[in-house]
């Protein structure tokens, strides 16, 4: 009886240790909050330094965002979450195409907002909340705009190859992934995945903001 | 008087249909009707409400609009207080009562948010949230003419909240000029505060679905006072070749 219990304890301990080791391996050294914060700061500093240049040369700004911000995101994983059920039936080629088109679409939609508002908001960061296995974290922040309005912005991140990568953003607790997932699923049902990808690549989905649409590279209406 | 039993039956029916659904796959049996109402609302907004709200923003200084916003926020605050207590949040209820008193007096009838400066922060509670707090699901998603997105639970909540709004008890509230001015200003203020999110709205694939998902998630978050349980992003649906995943989307596993 005692022997059995002892054996069980050792077994559990052993398991615990091996799990512990795996976790230590997977959890990045840098804190999740620090990772998200540093990316945000990097792009803000860049915009501050090159604001007029970026305003004049949009391609250059997209390049900067591509270099600094995009690597912080787990694009393939986001594409997978957004495609959801449709991911299963998609070919590897479609998956890659979709991921790229989706990323570019977001880039074109949000980069301009970033360029216009980078200095009119103050961000308060809250400490990251880690999941039990420490492979995931939620980083929450409060963005306070000059006009006094505040927004709760949250980042959901997970560990990939020793670094934290964002896979969802919530604005006032509204998840972007969930939102796009619903919409894209409906679009695919109406036409087809290929058509949705083609339309995204042609820039047919874009902000109505006239200033943005004028400058965004687009062929379709 | 005869309207009472009908109301009771309707409310009971609506509540019975209130189960919780994930925001990305909600119960929306009225979708065709909802979409029609939405496109009506959207048109009315584009041609009337939005231009008026834009004009209002153009001609009033920031501080005036902030005052108006504060005023209406304070005027409807008793609803928050009542629902604090209905959700057994007694401490918050007492603090919110203090906030209402301070803002109504030192804050010149609510124009200045003195409460915020002395640490009495604004809370957001209503009867729809109270129902949610005690476990009632949102039921069907609804798009109301001119009033916008709602659901069974929040529609009932809205009806109940009208009883906790003080203006209801003001004599002469339904005299046309008073009513028109208050309702007009209330609506314009509400719309003006939403103007910044217009470009976000227009950049969606399907604005109806965007509104629906956002509304349901937002309400769910309010029920949990801003800390809702994390949404299941539905990794379970994907289940591709890299199988051997933990079960049913309880937690998205890291990508390889």
Residue B137, in any domain of the structure? yes
Helices (H) and strands (E) in chain B, counts: 12, 2
Q: Please report the pLDDT score of residue B138 as a whole number.
A: 92
Residue range(s) defining the domain that contains residue B99? 27-228
Cα distance between residue B34 and residue A20, in whole Å: 51
CA–CA separation, B227 vs B220, rounded Å?
9
Compute the average pLDDT of residues B217-246. 71
Nearest to B203 among A74, A87, A109 (CB): A109
Helix (H, G, I), strand (E, B) or coil at B138: coil
The answer to whether A160 and A54 have CB atoms below 8 angstroms apart is: no
Residue matched to tokens 């909340």 = A129
Q: Give the pTM.
A: 0.79
Q: For chain B, how far is it from start to end, CA to CA, in angstroms?
A: 65
Q: Residue A178: which of B82, B21, B187 has the closest Cα? A: B21
Q: Which pLDDT belongs to residue B247?
A: 39
How far is it, in rounded angstroms, from Cα B54 to Cα B59?
9
Indicate the range of A200-204, B86-90, B101-105 predicted with least confidence.
A200-204
The CA distance from A176 to A131, in Å, is: 20
Asked whether residue A211 is domain-assigned, the answer is no
The residue of chain B with its CA nearest to that of A87 is B238
Is residue B11, in this structure, part of any structural domain at all? no
- Is position B21 within any domain? no
Please indicate whether residue A6 or residue A148 has the higher confidence score (pLDDT).
Answer: A148
Distance CA(B84)–CA(B92), nearest Å, equals: 6
E-state strands within B78-123: none
pLDDT of residue A221: 30
* Rounded Cα gap, residues B190 and B63, in angstroms: 16
Asked if residue B256 belongs to a domain, the reply is no
Please tell me the total count of domains within chain A. Answer: 1
* Mean pLDDT of chain A, nearest integer: 79
Higher pLDDT, B100 or A213: B100
| 3-state secondary structure (DSSP) of residue B101 | helix
Nearest-angstrom CA–CA distance, A138 and A126: 10
> Looking at the complex, does the CB of residue A191 fall below 8 Å from at least one CB of chain B?
no
Q: Which two tokens stand for residue B244?
A: 């051997």
Of residues B206, B209, B237, nearest to A84 (C-beta): B237
In a domain, B170, yes or no: yes
Where does the pLDDT of residue B248 fall: very low under 50, low under 70, confident under 90, or very high at 90 and above? very low
Averaged pLDDT for residues A9-21? 44
DSSP state of B56: H
Q: In chain A, what percentage of residues exceed pLDDT 90?
A: 31
B151 neighbors B138 (Cβ within 8 angstroms)? yes
Percent of chain B exceeding pLDDT 70 equals: 84
What are phi and psi for residue A174, nearest 5 degrees? -100, 120
Q: What is the DSSP letter of B167?
A: G
The predicted-structure confidence for A29-85, as pLDDT tens digits, reads as follows 888 898 999 998 888 888 888 888 888 888 888 898 899 999 999 999 999 999 988
Q: What is the pLDDT of residue B181?
A: 83
Given a cut of 60, is residue A12 above it in pLDDT? no
Report which of B23, B46, B36, B33 is spatially closest to residue B211, judged by C-alpha positions: B23
State which H helix or E strand residue A21 sits in. helix A2-26
What angle, rounded to 10 degrees, do the helices at A75-83 and A92-117 form?
A: 110
Indicate the pLDDT class of residue B57, thresholds 50, 70 and 90: very high
Q: What does the DSSP 8-state code read for residue B140?
A: B
Assess if residue B245 is contained within a domain: no
CA–CA distances in Å: residue B191 to residues B15, B38, B52, B53, B188: 30, 16, 9, 6, 5
Taking the C-alpha atoms of residue B139 and residue B26, their distance in angstroms, rounded to an integer, is 8
Cα B221 vs. chain centroid, distance in angstroms? 11
Q: Give the pLDDT band of residue B131 (cuts 50, 70, 90).
A: very high
| Domain limits for position A46 | 2-201
H or E stretch at B144? strand B141-144
**Which chain A residue's Cα is nearest to B223?**
A173
A to B CB pairs, distance under 8 Å: 114
Q: B230 to chain A: which residues are within 8 Å by CB?
A: 138, 156
Token pair, residue A161, equals: 């190859």
Those of residues 160-219 in B touching chain A at CB distance below 8 A are: 193, 196, 198-200, 202-206, 209-210, 212-214, 217-218
Per-residue pLDDT for A149 more than 90? no
- Chain A residue nearest residue B226, CA to CA: A173
Identify whether the C-beta of residue B203 lies closer than 8 Å to the C-beta of residue A109.
Answer: yes
Give the residue-averaged pLDDT of B94-111: 94
SS percent in chain B: helix, strand, coil, step 5: 60, 5, 35
Q: How confident is the model at residue B107 (pLDDT cuts 50, 70, 90)?
A: very high
- From the list B226, B212, B157, B152, the residue with the least C-alpha distance to B26 is B212
Q: Confirm or reject contact between A178 and chain B (CB < 8 A).
A: yes
- Number of independent structural domains in chain B: 1
**Residue B255 DSSP class:** P
Euclidean distance between CA atoms A71 and A77, whole angstroms: 13
Is A114 near chain B, with CB under 8 Å? no
Angle at which helices B90-105 and B62-75 pack, to 10 degrees?
A: 130
A218 and chain B in contact, CB less than 8 A: no
Between A204 and A69, name the one with better pLDDT.
A69
pLDDT at position A216, please? 35
Residue B254 sits at the chain A interface (C-beta within 8 Å): yes
| Cα A186–chain centre separation | 22
Q: With respect to residue A217, please indicate whether it lies within any of the assigned structural domains.
A: no
Chain B residues with beta carbon closer than 8 angstroms to that of A193: none
Assign residue A42 the CATH number of its domain: 3.10.450.710
Report the distance separating Cα B147 and Cα B237, nearest Å. 35
- Closest by Cβ to A182, choosing from B24, B200, B251: B24
pLDDT of residue B98: 95
Backbone angles phi, psi at B151, to 5 degrees: -150, 175
Label residue B182 by pLDDT band (50, 70, 90).
Answer: confident
Residue B172 lies in a domain: yes
Q: Quickly state the pLDDT bin for B211 (edges 50, 70, 90).
A: very high
Distance (Å, whole) CA A117 – CA A44: 10
pLDDT at B171: 78
What percentage of residues in chain A have a pLDDT greater than 70? 80
Tokens of A60: 């250059």
pLDDT at A94 > cutoff 90 = yes
3-state DSSP assignment of residue A68: helix
Torsion sign over Cα B66, B124, B20, B248:
positive
Closest residue in chain B to residue A155, using alpha carbons only: B230
d(CA A169, CA A155): 5
Residues of B in contact with A159 (CB under 8 A): 254
Beta carbons of A136 and B23 less than 8 Å apart = no
Q: Please work out, in degrees rounded to the nearest 5, the angle formed at the alpha carbon of residue B195 by the alpha carbons of B193 and B201.
A: 125
| Structure confidence at residue B243 as a pLDDT band (50, 70, 90) | very low
Whether chain B has a CB inside 8 Å of the CB on A175: the answer is yes
Q: Residue B234 and residue A77: Cβ atoms within 8 Å?
A: no
């Amino acid at each position: 009886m005692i022997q059995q219990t002892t054996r069980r304890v050792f077994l559990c301990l052993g398991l615990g240790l091996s799990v512990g080791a795996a976790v230590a391996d997977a959890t990045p050294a840098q804190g999740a909050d620090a990772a998200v914060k540093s990316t945000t700061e990097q792009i803000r500093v860049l915009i501050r330094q090159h604001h007029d240049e970026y305003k004049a040369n949009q391609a250059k700004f997209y390049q900067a965002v591509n270099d600094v911000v995009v690597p912080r995101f787990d694009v393939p994983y986001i594409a997978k979450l957004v495609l959801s059920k449709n991911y299963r039936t998609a070919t590897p080629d479609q998956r890659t195409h979709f991921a790229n088109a989706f990323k570019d679409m977001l880039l074109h939609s949000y980069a301009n907002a970033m360029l216009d508002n980078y200095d009119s908001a103050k961000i308060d960061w809250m400490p990251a909340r880690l999941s039990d296995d420490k492979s995931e974290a939620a980083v929450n922040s409060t963005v306070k705009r000059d006009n006094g309005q505040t927004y709760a912005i949250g980042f959901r991140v997970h560990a990939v190859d020793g670094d934290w990568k964002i896979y969802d953003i919530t604005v006032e607790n509204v998840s972007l992934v969930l939102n796009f997932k619903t919409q894209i699923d409906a679009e695919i049902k109406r036409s087809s995945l290929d058509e949705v990808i083609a339309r995204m690549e042609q820039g047919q989905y874009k902000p109505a903001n006239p200033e943005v649409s004028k400058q965004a590279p687009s062929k379709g209406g | 008087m005869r309207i009472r039993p009908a109301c009771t039956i309707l409310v009971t029916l609506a509540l019975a249909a209130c189960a919780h659904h994930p925001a990305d796959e909600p119960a929306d049996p009225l979708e065709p009707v909802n979409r029609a109402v939405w496109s009506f609302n959207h048109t009315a907004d584009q041609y009337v409400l939005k231009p008026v709200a834009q004009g209002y923003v153009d001609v009033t200084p920031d501080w005036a609009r902030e005052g108006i916003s504060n005023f209406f926020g304070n005027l409807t605050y008793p609803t928050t207080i009542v629902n604090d207590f209905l959700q057994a949040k007694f401490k918050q209820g007492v603090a919110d009562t203090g906030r209402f008193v301070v803002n109504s007096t030192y804050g010149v009838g609510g124009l200045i948010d003195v409460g915020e400066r002395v640490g009495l922060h604004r809370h957001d509670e209503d009867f729809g949230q109270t129902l949610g707090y005690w476990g009632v699901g949102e039921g069907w998603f609804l798009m109301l003419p001119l009033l916008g997105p709602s659901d069974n639970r929040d529609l009932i909540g809205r009806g109940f909240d009208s009883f906790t709004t003080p203006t209801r008890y003001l004599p002469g509230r339904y005299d046309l000029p008073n009513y028109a001015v208050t309702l007009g200003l209330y609506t314009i203020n509400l719309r003006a505060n939403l103007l910044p999110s217009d470009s976000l709205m227009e950049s969606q694939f399907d604005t109806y679905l965007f509104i629906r998902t956002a509304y349901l998630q937002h309400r769910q978050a309010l029920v949990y006072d801003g800390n809702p349980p994390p949404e299941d992003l539905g990794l379970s649906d994907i289940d591709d070749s890299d199988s051997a995943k933990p079960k049913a989307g309880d937690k998205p596993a890291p990508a390889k």
